[in-house]
Amino acid sequence: MPSKGKSRTIKVDYMARVEGEGALHIKLKDLPDGTVEVRDAKLNIFEPPRFFEAFLRGREWTEAPDITARICGICPVAYQSSSITAMEMIAGVTVPQSIRELRRLIYCGEWIESHVLHLAMLHAPDFLGYDDAIQMAQDHPQVVKDALRLKKLGNDIMTCVGGREIHPIAMKVGGFYKTPTVEELQAFLPELEWGLDAAQALTDLVATFEFPDFERDYEFVAMRHPDEYPLWEGRIVSNKGLDCELAEFFDYIEEEHVRHSTSLHSFIKARGEYHVGPMARFNLNFDQLTPLCQEVAEKYGVAPPVLNPFKSIIIRCVETLWAIEESIRIIKGYTQPDAPSVPVAPRAGRGYGCSEAPRGICFHTYAIDDKGIIQDARIAPPTAQNQKSMESDLALLVPTIGHLDDAALTLKCEQAIRNYDPCISCSCHFLKLEIDRE
């Protein structure tokens, strides 16, 4: 029991089950009436800076996809897609439909792999009270086995289309170095059909979890495409009036450098913090989901606007199901392109690329000269964009659970951060929890 009238510090020095290095530091005061007051809530990102934007200058424009992939081993296809499409904008090329479809397919592979890794192996243990998925496997062996099988399916799709699952080598500006045959892709259909059931079974499980009663009126930001659930095309929109082209991104969004983080904090100039990722995509693009996905979501009362970040785990299941359906659609309609890529030539200019990484929009802009040498590079990764929102979640959540002892409080705070599937390696191109009761 926290003693009344006292101050506490809650610290997590190195947060587990997230990608990268980060810490939490929360300062709070237990008031005499039994409530708590949060003095400060910080997400301390101490992932060492790697200076990608700086050393991209002087590199060839065609190197950006392979180099920026190394910002994050969990979502390399997001970095490759954003950089490739930015460069194609500069070159003024549009790739044929068959190549576009293959890009969607490898992106679906990444969503399946990353979502299942996070929801089943990193986030579910929070809800079920385990340290990790391996411990969870002792009581729920089938759940963990099916999750691993789904994750492997995502990885296998990435490997088939991209050559390997981590830092694929087959994508380039203009298309692919080599494309898979129809037979190679059709071989995935039986496993994808199994995946349809497995993803629904996973949704049935996570929907029974206990969710804290916590909702916020977020500004959600995601991409929006006229006819499809978004991956990298369309406009950047929000539920509070943002609606811009990629080229206008930094007209509306600013990045701020704060002392406690090696990752820049993004905010909307006119209004402040915003939220990117599965909840944002789902709330802004529900109408573009397949009827099956809409039905599965609605079965569990998950319909836009979803405002409880803890329920993002259900949305990750629904998006996994979507990625499986989309993969099936693509594979059934696939014909191998005549040429794996279209020719590209550099010209001086600036281009913009934005794609929906599993954890939210990943924005890139580059300027190149007429020889194709990169002159300037800016990258806004999803976790950096979510940082302010994560800190506010903590500041608002803690007073509702201040009666908990430090250990239980710490666990809930970590879980609140994991709602974002933060990728700390990305954001620096983040986690340690510190709760300070004064």
Partner 1 sequence: MAIRKAPKLAVWKFASCDGCQLSLLDCEDELLAVAGQVQLAYFPEATSAVMKGPYDLSLVEGSITTPHDVKRIQQIRKQSKFLVTIGACATSGGIQALRNFGDVEEYTRYVYAHPEYIETLQQSTPIAQHVFVDFELRGCPINKMQLLEVLNAFLNERKPNIPRYSVCIECKRRGTPCVMVSKGIPCMGPVTQAGCDALCPAYNRGCFGCYGPMEAPNPEALSASWKSMGKDENDLVRAYRTYNAHAEAFQRESERHAQQR
Q: Tell me which stretch binds partner 1 (CB under 8 A): 28-36, 114-122, 216-224, 394-402.
A: 114-122
Report yes or no: 6 and 438 within 8 Å, Cβ to Cβ: yes
Q: In angstroms, what is the minimal distance from the CB of 429 to partner 1?
A: 8
Where does this chain touch ligand SF4 (CB under 6 A) — which range of 132-140, 161-169, 253-261, 329-337?
A: 161-169
| Token code pair at residue 438 | 């004064």
Residue from 11, 39, 100, 149 in contact with partner 1 (CB under 8 A): 149
Contact between 212 and ligand SF4 by CB under 6 A: the answer reads: no
430: nearest Cα among 147, 12, 4:
12
Q: Cα separation of 108 and 362, whole Å?
A: 16
Residue 67 interacting partner from ligand SF4, partner 1, none (CB closer than 5 to 8 Å by kind): partner 1
Q: List Cα–Cα distances, 366 to 187, 293, 369, in angstroms.
A: 38, 36, 10
Question: Which of the choices partner 1, ligand SF4, none does residue 165 contact, using the CB cut-off of 5 to 8 A by kind?
Answer: partner 1
Binding string, residues 363-382; x marks residues near ligand SF4 by CB under 6 A = --------------------
Partner from ligand SF4, partner 1, none binding residue 264, C-beta < 5-8 Å depending on class: partner 1
User: For residue 412, what is the enclosing H or E element?
Assistant: helix 406-418
Q: Which two tokens stand for residue 369?
A: 């000269």
Stretch that binds ligand SF4, among 102-110, 163-171, 212-220, 406-414 (CB under 6 A): 163-171
Using DSSP, state whether 272 is helix, strand or coil.
strand
Q: Position 241: which residue type?
A: G
How far apart CA 351 and CA 247 sit, in angstroms, is 8
Question: Is residue 148 within the footprint of ligand SF4 (CB under 6 A)?
Answer: no
Figure out which of the listed residues 16, 189, 247, 345 binds partner 1, where binding follows CB under 8 A.
16
Question: Total residues at the site for partner 1 (CB under 8 A)?
Answer: 66
Contact predicate 300/314, CB 8 Å: yes
Q: Provide the 8-state DSSP code for 341.
A: B
- Find the shortest distance in angstroms from Cβ 384 to ligand SF4: 18
Binding-residue pattern over the window 219 to 258 for partner 1, x denoting contact by CB under 8 A: -------------------------------------xxx
Which position among 70, 225, 240, 260 is part of the footprint of ligand SF4 (CB under 6 A)? 70
Residue 41 or 431: the one with the smaller Cβ distance to partner 1 is 431
Q: Does 172 bind ligand SF4 (CB under 6 A)?
A: no
The answer to whether 237 touches 223, Cβ cutoff 8 Å, is: yes
Torsion, Cα of 228, 205, 202, 79 (10° steps): 60
**Given the complex with partner 1, which of 227 and 257 has the nearer CB atom?**
257
Say which residues have a Cβ less than 8 Å from residue 142's Cβ, sequence separation at least 6: none
Contact between 165 and partner 1 per CB under 8 A: yes
SS3 236: strand
**Minimum separation from the CB atom of position 343 to partner 1 (A):** 15
Which residues lie below 8 Å from residue 197, measured CB to CB, with a gap of 6+?
Answer: none
Spell out, one character per residue from 168 to 207, where the chain touches partner 1: x when CB under 8 A holds, - when not. -xx-x----xx-----------------------------
Closer to ligand SF4 by Cβ: residue 137 or 166 = 166
Examine residue 50 and tell whether it contacts ligand SF4 (CB under 6 A).
no
CB 70 within 8 A of CB 357: no
Q: Which two tokens stand for residue 61?
A: 């424009």
The residue assigned the tokens 């992932």 is 47
Contacts of 298 (CB under 8 A, 6+ apart): none
The answer, yes or no, to whether the previous bond of 305 is cis (omega within 30 of 0) is yes
177 binds, among partner 1, ligand SF4, none (CB under 5 to 8 A by kind): partner 1
Of 104-112, 145-153, 165-173, 363-371: span binding ligand SF4 (CB under 6 A)? 165-173
Whether residue 391 contacts residue 24, with contact meaning beta carbons closer than 8 Å, is answered with no
CA distances from 419 to 18, 277, 345, 390, 427 (A): 10, 10, 42, 9, 16
Minimum CB–partner distance for residue 173 and partner 1 (Å): 12
Say how far residue 178 (Cα) sits from the centre of its chain. 27
Under the criterion CB under 8 A, does residue 167 sit at the interface with partner 1?
yes
Q: Which residues bind ligand SF4 (CB under 6 A)?
A: 70, 73, 166-167, 169
Q: Which residues bind partner 1 (CB under 8 A)?
A: 14-21, 47-55, 57, 59-60, 63, 66-67, 70-74, 76, 117, 121-122, 125, 131-135, 137, 144-145, 148-149, 151-152, 155, 163-167, 169-170, 172, 177-178, 256-259, 262, 264, 340, 414, 423, 425
